[in-house]
Amino acid sequence: MRIINFSRPLTEQNLREIETLAGCAVSEVIEVPSQIDLQSPLEPQIASRLDDLGLSSREWQTEPLLINLPSLNYSAAVVLALVHGRMGHFPPVLRLVPETGSVVTRFKVMEILNLQAIRERARGKR
């Protein structure tokens, strides 16, 4: 499984947590710069970063990909829309939370959110 990381660097501990939750090995972490120019249109900036990943149409649709979303809510929304368009479905995303009781701020992986499954459940509420 590849992780496309738009957020803070993942630690070795984070990667072990992800592998445990996902039930498969992480083969690669692709770091994507998440700083954006707030004075310029957002979609082209993020689309360009996704293009720069070099994934083919086939890879977007068939490779197991996990997304660590950017913290900025607008960026996260655009990432989801663009990735959904390339994959044909919503990707699973990471949810990290600060560890409690730690003197130094550290983050642990709380869960992997299966957005496609969440969407399917929500369709029953139409």
How distant, in Å, are the alpha carbons of 18, 41, 93 from that of 54? 24, 22, 20
Reported as a single tens digit per residue, the pLDDT across 90-121 is: 999 999 999 988 888 899 999 999 999 999 99
How distant, in Å, are the alpha carbons of 8, 27, 44, 95, 96 from that of 18? 15, 12, 30, 10, 10
Give the residue numbers spanning the domain of 10.
Answer: 2-123
**Residue 115 and residue 86: Cα distance in Å, rounded?**
15
Q: What is the pLDDT of residue 56?
A: 97
Q: What is the pLDDT of residue 101?
A: 85
The pair of three-digit structure tokens given for residue 34, joined into one six-digit string: 């998440």
- Phi, then psi, of 85 in degrees rounded to 5: -60, -35
- DSSP code of 1? -
- pTM of the entire predicted model: 0.93
Counting the structural domains of the chain, the total is 1
Q: Which residues of the chain have pLDDT under 70?
A: none
